[in-house]
Amino acid sequence: MNADAKKSVLRMIPYGIYVLTADDGRGNICAATVNWVTQSAFAPPLVVVGVKTDSGSYKTVKAAGKFALNMLGKDQKSLAFTFFRPADVTDGKLSGQPYRKGATGAPILIDAPGAVECKVTSIVEQGDHHVVVGEVIEAHFNRPLTGRPDAAILEMKDLGDNVFYGG
Amino acid sequence: MNADAKKSVLRMIPYGIYVLTADDGRGNICAATVNWVTQSAFAPPLVVVGVKTDSGSYKTVKAAGKFALNMLGKDQKSLAFTFFRPADVTDGKLSGQPYRKGATGAPILIDAPGAVECKVTSIVEQGDHHVVVGEVIEAHFNRPLTGRPDAAILEMKDLGDNVFYGG
C-alpha cells in the first residue's frame, strides 16, 4: 500500500469537532477534543467515537459506561484547542468553561450549541484507538441554530490549513 | 428525550459522500451511496461504516469480508444519486460507471478521485444499521487533488438544502 495515497485518501473524510466528556462518579472527569465521530444507526440512535486507548478520556469513558459529545460551534475554535490539553475542574468550571451535569453525569458545556448523551453499548478493542459505540439517550440544544445544523458545527478544516487528525 | 433536539443535534455531524462497493466472488456485486463513515484508528488504519442491515450491500459486504469506499468528488452529485438506486453491472460498467477490480475484488470507480479498500475486522450487530469496522489494506488516488483533501469531497450538504441522512 502506498502510504501517501492512504494518508491523502483518508484525509478526504470531513470531520466536525466535538468535546467528549464523561464522569465516572469516582472523581474522574474527562473532557477531550475528538473528531472521529459518526452516527451508526437510527433505531436505536447510535453514534460511534474513535477514542485513543492511552488517554485518560478512554479510561474515564470506559469506567463511566456513559459519555457526552458536545458539538462545537463554527466560532469556537479556541475551545477546540482548550480541550486538546488535559482538562481540570476548578471553581466549578471545566478548564475554565461553564458546564452542568447531564443525565449521564457527563459535563455538558453550556457554551456549546448542542450535545448528545450516550450510554456505551459496545467497544471494539482494535487499534491504537478503540471504537466506542453509544446509544443516544439524551440531547441538548443550548442555543438555536439558523440554517443547516451541519453548517453550524466547527470543522477540522476550520482549525488551520494544515491541521488534520486522520490519514 | 426530546426527539427534535436529538434529530437536530445529530444532524450537526458533517458527512462526506461515499460509494461502498464489494464483490463476494459468487456473482454478487454491490455499490451503494453511504455517508456514515469515520476513521477509527491510525495503527492499524481502521475505518468504520454504518451499513443498513436490510440492504443488499450489507449482505454482500458481510459475505465478501472486504469492501471499498470510493470517495466522491465535489462535482459528483449525480453519482451519489446513481448509487442510491440498486446497482447493476452491464457491459462491464457498474450502473453505467467505469470501474476496475481492486485488490479486494471490490469495484473501484475510475471517475472517483480516490478510494480505500478494507478487510472487515469486526461487525457490531446493533441497530437498524450495523457498525462495520475495516482495516485499510489498499488506497487509490485516481486523480490529483488541489488544496485540502477534505475540501475536495462531496458532502451531504452539497446534495440539497433539505437532504440529510442522520438524526
Interval B45-63 mean pLDDT: 98
Asked whether residue B144 carries a pLDDT value surpassing 90, the answer given is no
Residue type, A96: G
What pLDDT, on a 0 to 100 scale, did the predictor assign at position A133? 98
Mean pLDDT of B14-31: 97
Q: Please give the average per-residue pLDDT across B111-135, as a whole number.
A: 98
- Cβ-nearest to B145 among A8, A45, A128: A8
- Tell me if residue B63 falls in helix, strand or coil: helix
Gap from B166 CA to chain A (nearest CA, Å): 7
- State the pLDDT at residue B50: 98
Minimal Cα distance from B136: which residue of A? A6
Phi, psi of A157 (to 5 degrees): -70, -15
Q: If pLDDT is split at 50, 70 and 90, which confidence band does A143 have?
A: confident
CB-based contact B38 A48, cutoff 8 Å: yes
Statement: residue A116 has pLDDT above 90 = yes
Q: Region B75-95: what's the mean pLDDT?
A: 96
ipTM > 0.90 for the complex: yes
Cell numbers at residue A73, please?
Answer: 460551534
Nearest residue of B to residue A167, measured between CA atoms? B42
Three cell numbers written together for B47: 475505518
Find the closest chain B residue to A42 by CA distance.
B128
pLDDT of residue A107: 98
Q: Which one, of B165, B166, B2, lies nearest residue A139 by Cα?
A: B2
The percentage of residues in chain B with a pLDDT greater than 90, rounded to a whole number, is: 97
DSSP state of B73: B
Cell of B122: 469486526
pLDDT at A162: 94
Residue A10's pLDDT is 98
Q: Which long-range contacts (CB under 8 A, 24 or more apart) does A144-148 make?
A: A145/A113, A145/A114, A145/B8, A145/B12, A148/B11, A148/B157, A148/B161
> Residue A105: which region, alpha, beta or left (left: phi > 0; alpha: psi -120 to 50)?
left
Nearest to B39 among A50, A122, A124 (CB): A50
Q: Which of A9-23, A98-112, B119-133, B141-155 has the lowest mean pLDDT?
A: B141-155
Cβ-defined contact of A9 to B127 (cutoff 8 Å): no
Sheet containing A107-109: give its strands across. Answer: A89-90, A93-94, A97-101, A107-109
Q: Provide the percentage of residues in chain A whose pLDDT is more than 90.
A: 97
Collect all residues of chain A within an 8 Å Cβ-Cβ radius of residue B70.
none
A29 Cα to chain B: minimum distance (Å): 23
Rounded to the nearest 5 percent, the helix, strand and coil shares of chain A are 20, 40, 40
Q: Is the CB of A44 less than 8 angstroms away from the CB of B127?
A: yes
Residue A111's pLDDT is 97
Residues A28 and A30: their CA atoms lie apart, in Å, by 7
- Separation CA B153–CA B114 (nearest Å): 10
Mean pLDDT taken over chain B: 97
Residues of B in contact with A12 (CB under 8 A): 16, 71, 113-114, 145, 149-150, 152-153
Q: In angstroms, how far is the first alpha carbon of chain B from the final one?
A: 13
Nearest beta carbon to residue A5 from set B38, B41, B140: B140
pLDDT band at B39 (very low <50, low <70, confident <90, very high): very high
**CB burial readout B123-159, b (16+ within 10 A) else e:** bbebbebbbbbbbbbbbbbbeebeebbbebbbbbbbb
Q: How far is CA B133 from CA A163, B137, B150, in A?
A: 25, 13, 21
Q: What is the pLDDT of residues A48-77, one digit of tens each?
A: 999 999 999 999 999 999 999 999 999 999
**CA distances in angstroms from A4 to A7, A9, A10, B55, B118, listed in the order given:** 5, 8, 10, 33, 16
Q: Locate A63 and state its grid cell.
A: 469506567
Give the model's confidence band at A31: pLDDT under 50 very low, under 70 low, under 90 confident, else very high.
Answer: very high
**Residues B127-150, mean pLDDT to the nearest whole number:** 95
Chain centroid to Cα B50, Å, comes to 9
Cell (9 digits) for A72:
462545537
DSSP-assigned letters across all residues of A41-98: ETTTTEEEEEEETTSHHHHHHHHHTEEEEEEPBTT-HHHHHHTTSPP-EETTEETTEE
- Dihedral over Cα of A151, A154, A156, A158: its sign: positive
Instruction: Provide the pLDDT for residue A165.
Output: 97
